Chain A
């Protein structure tokens, strides 16, 4: 499984953009990069995923480095409801979703 490195925690002010980084230097060429988030006492929620190009959806944007060894999840305007643990998951050849420790995002009002 590809190893990931994410900051343990980050803070952001409400209404400001947030950039959540993830290093996945052992990723292989066909591994999709997935991002999920989890609020307390809930199951994870899908955020976004991509392979090579940058991806956008209604929740966030995903910027993938050209060498694919890192990616950044971008929340364009953080709200209090975005406070959660964010997980970056390179999907390996086994096509399983292995969760690391994630980044706990705190949003300040």
Chain B
């Protein structure tokens, strides 16, 4: 299957700082990318949907000023967690797809720990 690469795979940051997570589709052009968050022993929760060149659409309850999403090209989307706090510690996962009815491919995830 197609490859989605997420970087970094693991990051520890201090409370109050910002962290950027990159998501790249390596062998296809992704018109849409998705960002998820997953807490231990829970399912994935969709945070936002982003289309290349457009502003991201955030799910209800997700703060757009805290979780900044940029989808500047067909192969790259970034999620920046601003002013991170310990409660933002989680497993963040991105996914990408070519078009509407195709399958999505997921990155390997980024484990964020805020201390």
Residues of chain A having any CB pair with chain B under 8 Å: 32, 34, 36, 38, 41-46, 49, 87, 91, 95-102
Query: Is A100 within 8 A of B93, CB to CB?
Result: no
Residues of chain B having any CB pair with chain A under 8 Å: 1, 4, 6, 32, 34, 36, 43-46, 49, 91, 93-95, 100-101, 103-109, 111
Per DSSP, chain B at the interface is strand
Contacts of B103 in A (CB 8 A): 34, 46, 49
Q: Kindly report which residue of chain A lies nearest to residue B93, judged by CB atoms.
A: A43
Query: Is B109 within 8 A of A96, CB to CB?
Result: no
Nearest 4 interchain pairs by C-beta: A43-B106, A99-B44, A46-B103, A99-B43
Contacts of B100 in A (CB 8 A): 95
Q: Kindly report which residue of chain B lies nearest to residue A101, judged by CB atoms.
A: B43
Contacts of B4 in A (CB 8 A): 43
